Chain A
Amino acid sequence: MMRLAKEYFADQRDDDLKQLGVGLQRSDVPGHVTGKTTYFADRNFPRMLHLKMVRSPHHHARIRSIDTSEAEKHPGVARVLTHKDVPHNVYTILILIQVGPEDEQVLAADKVRWKGEAVVAVLADSERAANEAAAKVKVDYEVLPAVFDMDEALAPGAPLVNEYHGNNYYTYDSGSHRKVRFGDVEQGFAQADFVLEETYRSSPIEQAPTETTGCIAVPEGNDRFTCYTNTQAMFFTLDNTSIILQMPGHKLHFVGGTVGGGFGGKVDVTVEPIAILAAKLTGRPVSFIYTREEEMQISSPRAAEKIVIKDGVMKDGRIVARYVKGYTDAGAYSRHSPYGAQKGAAHYPGPYTIPNVWADTYCVYTNRTPSSAMRGFGVTIADFALEVQMDKLARLISMDPLEFRFINAYRDGDMKAHRQPTEGAALIECMQEASKAANWPVAEKFLKMSSYKET
């Protein structure tokens, strides 16, 4: 059962927490239970076209030629789009916050870098006609060697995944990786009673929302375009669409609303620019909705990661040095991964105060599906690695794993390795509650600790 522990931080607050523990009806649920909630696809427009994307069957290939003539003749087809139709055909989402370079083609022109990359968009009166016509698009590929493993991608002589970067890693202003340097990590290891180095790996994870990614773009009489979309990133999408289509933002009217599950999987800009372009070139409403297969295989997952952690620990439980190398598999394109990898660099000490830290994080390009946001990306897998490492360290020094965490827990005022002072810490209090709830007793002194005052 839930217990409300309002006594914690009572002297730190001036609120009465009167809403805690009081049930409040969600404002959107009446619509959900009556079927009246409007998701983007719950709209019908006369003469609406259906967009089917022709995608790369290869992980890495040069495009020799694209032949759309047979597809264009297919009954019901209104238009077929290639890279030549896209005003500014190369983009990267985070260019809006100066995280470049633009590294991804909207419709592939010369190369494909992952299996599933968009090459040709077919627009037809019905989904069936669009699917049939898409099968008639002929793309001649010269298959190139591909790399799927981050270690192999970083090794000398690896195939170059993305020419816009020139290397198989993202170049930060700090060079090939993000760096955190705090204290003297070598001196810390020299002082340690034990040193433990472990490597942790994770696979990509698909967000798998029940409602697939999609949008409907409608040309309006006033030369504007309305885009009904389930994006989780409305303004990233609007601004990137504006750049890609070289169309001022005031011509774009984006309508969001209830999203049928996102979990980070709907923050990339993948359907709106091409659907709006198609609506502009045909003068008709355009629906571009991922199939379930596309949602699972094309939409960007959480990145695969490799994390090497080396810790120096004292017999009394103090971690005195941590050295981390973190690798984020961006797949073929940046999307949100340079940011995720950077977040990891700051996060690797975890919620613990460690006096000597050295962290390097790399954003690595491979010929896998581009990865992007998912629920705490950059830190979630790091936390898995860190907490497994914490258990192993506790075992190494024969200490209770929960007491071990109390000893190292960060507290208000502690300087973090990336030079942000700790504020509003509550780890100790959470662990005190967890100790009671899980019936996992710890020594009395830990139950008297506080995150914000000396005890």
Chain B
Amino acid sequence: MAKKVPIQLMLNGEDRAEFVDSGATLLTVLRERFDDTSPKGGCHQGTCGACSVLVDGELRLSCLTLAEACEGQSIETTAGLAKEGVLHPLQRVFLDGFAAQCGFCTPGMIMAAKALLDHTPNPSREDVVEALSGNICRCTGYEPIINAVLAAARANSHNAA
């Protein structure tokens, strides 16, 4: 039997604690222990980006991150972006801009985009392409996705002005 270890972290602003298998990935713990299935497992080897989450504001592949290493840290996932039923601006532009097809890559794409816009509020198209380069959309809907992120950035700067 795998050794259980206690883990306490902030998940989308909520204080959560659980006993988890030592050595379990953050992806597995989020999905199986914390009931947040918004990060997806597409490859479990760090190549597809479907499991992307933010750990203390930094973009991480949760399939390659040990849950134990996230003790006391703040985790953000797509499931926590909408506040009181109001979509986050990135969710809104993905919805309005037809930036999702099968949807499996969408939560990871949105978190990768959030990591970009949190650091770089006015990105160039090249910045967006670079920021999403670790996230595979096999339906190949990249153009609407890139355009959606640029639209979110424009809306941001408009609101700030």
Chain A residues engaging chain B, CB cutoff 8 angstroms:
23, 25-26, 28-39, 41-42, 44, 75-76, 126, 128, 208-212, 258-263, 291-292
Instruction: List the B side residues contacting A33 at CB < 8 Å.
Output: 78, 87, 91, 94-95, 100, 106, 110
Instruction: List the A side residues contacting B104 at CB < 8 Å.
Output: 39, 209-211, 260-261
12 further contact pairs, Cβ within 8 A, besides A29-B95, A33-B78, A35-B79: A29-B103, A33-B87, A34-B82, A35-B38, A38-B37, A41-B37, A210-B105, A210-B137, A211-B40, A211-B50, A260-B40, A261-B102
CB distance from B100 to the nearest CB of A (A): 4
Given contacts A44-B32, A210-B50, contact A292 B103 (CB under 8 A): no
Instruction: List the B side residues contacting A208 at CB < 8 Å.
Output: 138
Q: Give bound CA distance, A258 to B104, whole Å.
A: 9
Contact of A28 with B95 in the complex, beta carbons under 8 Å: no
Can you list 16 A-B contacts (CB < 8 A)?
A26-B100, A31-B103, A32-B94, A33-B91, A33-B110, A35-B36, A35-B77, A39-B104, A41-B37, A126-B21, A210-B40, A210-B136, A210-B137, A210-B138, A211-B40, A260-B42
The majority secondary structure among interface residues of chain A is loop
Q: Give bound CA distance, A309 to B96, whole Å.
A: 47
How many residues on chain B are close to A (CB under 8 Å)? 42
Contact of A210 with B37 in the complex, beta carbons under 8 Å: no
Which residues of B17-58 are within 8 A (CB) of A?
21, 31-32, 35-45, 47-48, 50
Which residues of B61-111 are within 8 A (CB) of A?
77-79, 81-82, 87, 91, 94-96, 98, 100, 102-107, 110
Residue of B whose beta carbon sits closest to that of A259: B102
Partner of B103, one of A32, A75, A262, A291: A32
Contact of B42 with A292 in the complex, beta carbons under 8 Å: yes
CB distance from A34 to the nearest CB of B (A): 6
Instruction: List the A side residues contacting B5 at CB < 8 Å.
Output: none
Instruction: List the B side residues contacting A209 at CB < 8 Å.
Output: 102, 104, 138
Q: Give bound CA distance, A55 to B40, whole Å.
A: 26
Instruction: List the A side residues contacting B98 at CB < 8 Å.
Output: 23, 26, 29
Q: Give bound CA distance, A38 to B38, whole Å.
A: 9
Q: Give bound CA distance, A291 to B42, whole Å.
A: 9
Instruction: List the A side residues contacting B102 at CB < 8 Å.
Output: 209-211, 258-262
